[in-house]
Amino acid sequence: MSLPTALLARLRGPGLVGHLLALVAGALSTLSFAPYNLWPLGLVSIALLYQGLKQVSSKQAAVRGGAWGLGLFASGVSWIYISIHLHGNASPLLAGFLTGGLELGLSLFIALWAWVWVRFFRSNSPWLGSLGFAAVWVAQEVFRSWFLTGFPWLYHGYAHTHTWLNGYAPLGGVWLLGGISVFMACLLSEWRLVRQPLQCGLALLAVGALWLGGYGLQQIAWTTTKGQPLSVNLVQANIEQSRKWDPDYITHTLSLYRDLTYAQPSTDLVVWPETAVPVLQSQGQYFVDGIAANLAERGSTLITGIPVDEMDPNGLRIYNGIMVGGSEPQSEYLKQKLVPFGEYVPLEELLRGLIDFFNLPMSSFSRGPADQQPLLAAGYRLAPLICYEAVYPDFAAKQAAQSDLLITISNDSWFGSSIGPLQHLQMAQMRAIEAQRWMIRATNNGVTALIDQHGEIRTRIPQFQQEVLLGEVQPMTGLTPYLRWRSVPLGLVVVSMLLMAGLCRRRQNAR
């Protein structure tokens, strides 16, 4: 027996070796995302998981799926350790424990999904088995986007941000890309089809048609240009996270943004990143209005991140906000999707004060209302996405459907020189593809970039450099199918596929 055949036998059989191979397969998937972009490894990873679940019991499947998920999340979101240890002042041991706990928790999503597929939808038919696997996979990713506020990171479709398959993104978003890719990976791993020339030919034809279909869809312009391009000025001040909220450094920070802005030629828009103004709006409004007034004389409009404080009957509320400076009436947006522990503390009464990580600066933000309008600037509507919000596909689509441009401001300083900020950038590129709209992305220390409607980065500033990006963006009008209906059609298809797979399995068991 050859080594590959022996490993496949171990993978498909029960036991520790199969679980360890699944763990390695999960880690391979991380290499398919940015910054590595080795997308074929994502197909290999899924194929190995699929084969590893073909012959095991449902209990074994849960363990194996959990092992695969642990491999994915331990390798793909290990950057969380940096924010907990360096910026949360947790000891290496405690930071490792908290990071590992999160990774284990996330792997339970994959464990549950693997158990469900084996228990209810696994089929002896290569076609039905692959379709059912892909359908449950999409359901798992959608579920992970909202359960307990969601953690929509490392979706399989992001591996195809730059392949022909991204043509499907305007139809069904990153979830549709992921489902198609998973289906192809499973079907190509069905070695039994090699002994059936007709079935093998049909499988290769189906895979080829899906790839060519993606290429064909890339040629469709779902949106059209609106008006003239806008010139933009994005300021990347590269403020160290340890100094961002230091009261003794605030004056220097504000002066730096002012000086970097004034040193550039006039542009239609000037954009500062998330919480660029590190004081409450009630204290910093005079500064923003002053800069905005000076820029208005040059024909420029200022957009900046700033904490917004408001009083209501329940007391003081603070929001992570983005505002158009000097506009009347004030055009602002308050962040809705908050980062757990970074912007709010779950179970605050129990956790607040236990360790420094639960007392991070500005970790008591309130959630903004759900019925907010786009920002209005330079005569156009901008869909605002603050940091973490750009990773929620349906949420971003809802915002984009009302807009001519996308704008996201972020502060990825929390994650240092890890792969986290580059994964975040890739997700922003996917949002631009889904909406077929240009995206303005302004960050504190990178990656600041202008992304076109095809997800291509037109210009960018390297990470960890203090620099200003000058460029142009083109407003767009029109709705892609995904912006119009979001994930509703895909959800109906997934439910139909699961019903079909479940019915076929029941008939097979009845024979």
- Return the higher-pLDDT residue of 225 and 4: 225
Q: Which of 99, 120, 141 is the last residue of a domain?
A: 120
CATH number at residue 237: 3.60.110.10
Mean pLDDT of 164-174: 98
Question: Are 18 and 64 contained in the same domain?
Answer: yes
Tokens of 223: 């949106």
Question: Are 32 and 108 contained in the same domain?
Answer: yes
Indicate the angle between helix axes 58-76 and 92-116, nearest 10 degrees.
Answer: 140
Query: In angstroms, how far is CA 22 from the centroid of its own chain?
Result: 24
CA–CA gap between residue 178 and residue 141 (Å, rounded): 9
Q: What is the pLDDT of residues 232-288, one digit of tens each?
A: 999 999 999 888 889 999 999 999 999 999 999 999 999 999 999 999 999 999 999
Strand partners, 473: 230
Question: With 60 as the cut, is the pLDDT of residue 80 above it?
Answer: yes
Question: Are 19 and 129 contained in the same domain?
Answer: no
Q: For residue 304, what pLDDT is reported?
A: 97
- Read off the amino acid at residue 487: S
Mean pLDDT of 209-215: 98
DSSP character at residue 371: -
Mean pLDDT of 190-204: 81
Q: For residue 488, what pLDDT is reported?
A: 95
> What mean pLDDT is reported for the chain?
91
**14 contacts: CB under 8 Å, gap ≥ 6:** 56, 57, 60
Mean pLDDT of 408-416: 90
Q: Which of 82, 99, 120 is the last residue of a domain?
A: 120
Mean pLDDT of 479-499: 95
Question: Are 294 and 412 contained in the same domain?
Answer: yes
Q: What is the pLDDT of residues 97-151, one digit of tens each?
A: 989 999 999 999 999 999 999 999 998 889 999 999 999 999 999 999 988 788 9
Which residues are known to be catalytic?
274, 335, 387
Torsion of CA 455, 457, 460, 463, to 10 degrees: 60
Q: For residue 416, what pLDDT is reported?
A: 85
Question: Are 188 and 263 contained in the same domain?
Answer: no
Tokens of 288: 């923003």
Mean pLDDT of 62-91: 90
CA–CA gap between residue 12 and residue 254 (Å, rounded): 59
Question: Are 166 and 296 contained in the same domain?
Answer: no
Q: How many CA atoms lie within 13 A of 53 on its CB side?
A: 36
CA–CA gap between residue 287 and residue 295 (Å, rounded): 12
Mean pLDDT of 176-184: 97
- Return the higher-pLDDT residue of 194 and 485: 485
Question: Are 459 and 372 contained in the same domain?
Answer: yes
Question: With 60 as the cut, is the pLDDT of residue 435 above it?
Answer: yes
CA–CA gap between residue 414 and residue 86 (Å, rounded): 8
Q: How many domains does the chain have?
A: 3
Question: Are 249 and 181 contained in the same domain?
Answer: no
The pLDDT confidence band at residue 320, using thresholds 50, 70 and 90, is very high
Q: For residue 1, what pLDDT is reported?
A: 47
Question: Are 32 and 154 contained in the same domain?
Answer: no
SS3 (DSSP) at 507: helix
If you compute the radius of gyration of the chain from its CA atoms, what whole number of angstroms results? 24
Domain that holds residue 443: 224-479
Question: Are 139 and 75 contained in the same domain?
Answer: no
Q: What is the pLDDT of residues 456-468, one digit of tens each?
A: 999 999 999 999 9
Question: With 90 as the cut, is the pLDDT of residue 501 above it?
Answer: no
* Beta-carbon count within 10 A of 404 CB: 24
Mean pLDDT of 407-436: 95
Sheet of strand 375-377, all strands in order from the earlier edge strand to the far edge:
375-377, 380-386, 405-410, 439-443, 448-451, 457-461
- Read off the amino acid at residue 311: M
Question: Are 426 and 379 contained in the same domain?
Answer: yes
Q: Which of 105, 120, 135 is the last residue of a domain?
A: 120
Question: Are 323 and 437 contained in the same domain?
Answer: yes
**97 contacts: CB under 8 Å, gap ≥ 6:** none
H or E element at residue 43? helix 39-52
CA–CA gap between residue 358 and residue 395 (Å, rounded): 27
